[in-house]
Structure 1
Amino acid sequence: MADSNYQAVLVILNDIEANGLYKFNKEYHDEEFFINFIEFEKSFTNSFEKVIQKIDAFETEKDEIVFFAVYSLMLYVNSHLQVFEKFLKIIINSAMIKGSFDEDTSLSQMIRKICNKMQYTEKLKNSIRGLFLVDFRDAIAHQKYIIKDGAITIYPKDQREQITLNELYDDALQVRSMFHAMLDWADATEKPKTKKAILDNTINDLIHQVNTLDKKLDRLS
């Protein structure tokens, strides 16, 4: 069963599509990048779970192992946030939001632009910022963080926030769930938008069927 983070992302993306903000931007799409990221996510998750399970077994170097765990999870979470930024640039119609965006537009800026265009309330804007961990992303991007005593302290602004290993692990589960929601939404969104697209797909299907039939006839002859 999908969790609340997964459902929240689907609601937001469906709202974006329903309000005409969706447009596939080919220039930001890199299929190989996403395939590699999915493989990385699978490998990291399997390996890291084994490390976490064995932390208590380390006695003399436990502090170092905890530091490694915090740093690894920080990179894992941050890598997902980078993917989220890229994903939003792939699906958002830049002509529909104020100021447009480019390669240098941050995740925080993308979220702000989208929320403003959607005319969300301040409360909802803050909730979405929290969902996408924009303060965390800004802190890591600008190296405004410290790893100490088994936790990471971020200070993207004047206020500091300490994130424990357990909380960081929860964040990792959160971004993982959000990423899967994006993949599922994108898969459901990849459908013909025009009569021409429908016609092209029909023709391609017919060509495939004819080629398949030809191969069968060749084997019979």
Structure 2
Amino acid sequence: MTLDPNYKATVVILKDIESKGLVQFNKEYLDEEFFRNFIKFRKSFSHSMSELISKLDTFETKNEELTNFIIYSEMSYINSHLDAIKKFLKIIINPIKLDEGFGKDTTLEQMIERICKKMKYNGKLQNSINGLFLLDFRKATTQQQFVIEKIGILIINHKNENKIQLNIKDLADYSSQAMEILSAMFDWSNGKTQEPEKNPDGLDNLVSDLTKQVQELDNKLDNLS
């Protein structure tokens, strides 16, 4: 299987962090209940979304309302992965090695910024890492800096010139990106990064299912409009 570029980039970053002595197991941040609930949510999301899409023709709900529901669901799915990524970083990064350390309330954005600063990554690389971890999306959606247009477009940072327009397919790509990052983290922690075909929790199947769901959703919404 060809490695996803997001998976590869994550592994490279983790190995670089490890080589610089930033890795340490922090048991106090290992929230087993969170990860159990997260895995259950991740497994059930694909099935639930598939069921919803298969029954769209029977709903009396307006096309706009259905589209908005799908968009909000995808946003929640993406952000749940980013929450898991933040928790994972707090489990493996030695806070003493970072100039400002981190604590319970430290955000993902702050974690990435402090890690990049410690690693002395240049501005271009930092921007690429910010994009990899979807930090603009994260900030905009958690701070309510977005609107959803009637045509099914999510616009983040809608009040400034840096606004970004995302459709349902774009959100599916973001979902896949977040899944690949977390998969790389799990594989790295288990020493399995040289065997990407063994990604945990049927990642390939989940991505495939999500892609099919987006295609089915487009067809359903076209029929309803």
Check whether TM > 0.5.
yes
Alignment correspondent of 2:183? 180
How far apart are 1:111 and its partner, in Å? 0.5
In 2: Cα distance, 1:112 partner to 1:130 partner: 12
TM score, norm. by length of structure 1: 0.78
Alignment correspondent of 2:72? 71
Letter of the 2:189 counterpart: A
- Aligned CA RMSD, in angstroms, stands at 2.1
Moved more, 163-172 or 151-160: 151-160
- Counterparts in 2 of 1:68 and 1:94: CA distance versus 1, 3 Å: same
Q: Is 1:164 aligned with 2:167?
A: yes
In 2: Cα distance, 1:154 partner to 1:168 partner: 12
In 2: Cα distance, 1:157 partner to 1:4 partner: 31
Alignment correspondent of 2:9? 8
How far apart are 1:53 and its partner, in Å? 6.0
How far apart are 1:154 and its partner, in Å? 1.4
Give CA-to-partner distance per residue, 1:69-89, whole Å, 9 cap, x none: 101000100111111111111
Determine if contact 1:97/1:113 at 8 Å carries over to the other structure.
yes
- Counterparts in 2 of 1:52 and 1:16: CA distance versus 1, 3 Å: farther
Alignment correspondent of 1:205? none
SS at match of 1:175: helix
How far apart are 1:123 and its partner, in Å? 1.1
In 1: Cα distance, 2:53 partner to 2:15 partner: 36
How far apart are 1:157 and its partner, in Å? 8.1
Determine if contact 2:71/2:154 at 8 Å carries over to the other structure.
yes
Tell me, which stretches of 5 or more residues in structure 2 are unaligned?
Answer: 193-225
User: Which structure is richer in relative contact order (CA contacts within 8 A, separation 6 or more)?
Assistant: 2
SS at match of 1:129: helix
Alignment correspondent of 1:120? 121
Tell me, which stretches of 5 or more residues in structure 1 are unaligned?
Answer: 190-221
Please say which structure displays the higher CA radius of gyration: 1
Q: How many residues align?
A: 189
How far apart are 1:59 and its partner, in Å? 8.2
SS at match of 1:37: helix
In 1: Cα distance, 2:69 partner to 2:39 partner: 22
Letter of the 1:88 counterpart: L
Letter of the 1:153 counterpart: I
How far apart are 1:117 and its partner, in Å? 0.8
Determine if contact 1:136/1:156 at 8 Å carries over to the other structure.
no
Q: Is 1:42 aligned with 2:43?
A: yes
In 2: Cα distance, 1:169 partner to 1:41 partner: 14
Give CA-to-partner distance per residue, 1:36-77, whole Å, 9 cap, x none: 211110110222244446658878622221111101000100
How far apart are 1:32 and its partner, in Å? 2.2
Determine if contact 2:147/2:158 at 8 Å carries over to the other structure.
no
